[in-house]
A and B are shown apart, each in its own frame.
Chain A
């Protein structure tokens, strides 16, 4: 099956610093990658959708200047949380979809990154 990795799996940073999370599709080319945020006992909240080589599409209420997304290649997308605050502490999960447009039906999830901002 398709494998998606995320790095780091856990990160603790100080308030005001920036943190970069990497998402890689290991054995397939991901034309579309998604970034989700999940609060405890809550469902997944889509933050943004990124297509390789183009700007990410952010969901309403998500600050694009705070959550920088780069999808530089078909196997790598990065999420950078800039000037992190304690309220940014959360579980961030990426997923990758292969295929063109909506023709592929499966999204493969990374293992998630637990961010704690102190």
Chain B
């Protein structure tokens, strides 16, 4: 079966750095996505990786290792507004998005 694992919840301090990991086992691979979702709102696109390596976009970076079935989202200089759920999703061989359960990130002052 297809499976995506990410931690259920993480806590970090304002101004610090946090890394959210995601491991996946899917039928084929056509890219990995990270989305941010605030409570009661729809997800918003953060990043897309299809090749191995690090993609940096401002305070957020995303890393992919296809051989290990592993990705992480790195958030720097954390702000209170970063408190949200972070969803990892993989596009499989049928170009369907397979979703992780999401990681709830709690930022403390």
Chain A interface (Cβ within 8 Å of chain B)? 34, 42-46, 49, 91, 93, 101-102, 105-112, 114
Q: B91–A105 contact, CB under 8 A?
A: yes
Residues facing A in B9-42 (CB within 8 A) are 30-31, 40-42
Q: B100–A112 contact, CB under 8 A?
A: no
Q: Is B96 among interface residues, defined by CB-CB distance under 8 A?
A: yes
Contact of B97 (CB < 8 Å), options: A46, A93, A108, A112: A46
Q: B43–A44 contact, CB under 8 A?
A: yes
Residue pairs across A and B with CB atoms within 8 Å: the count is 42
Q: B91–A102 contact, CB under 8 A?
A: yes
Contact of A42 (CB < 8 Å), options: B44, B96, B101: B101
Q: A111–B42 contact, CB under 8 A?
A: yes
Q: Which residues of A lie under 8 Å from residue B48 when comparing CB positions? A: 105-106
Main secondary structure of the interface of A (DSSP, over half): strand
In order of increasing CB-CB distance, the 7 nearest A-B pairs are A102-B95, A112-B42, A109-B42, A43-B101, A43-B99, A44-B99, A93-B42
In the bound complex, how far is the Cα of B100 from the Cα of A111, in angstroms?
A: 20
In the bound complex, how far is the Cα of B89 from the Cα of A34, in angstroms?
A: 15
Q: Is B50 among interface residues, defined by CB-CB distance under 8 A?
A: yes
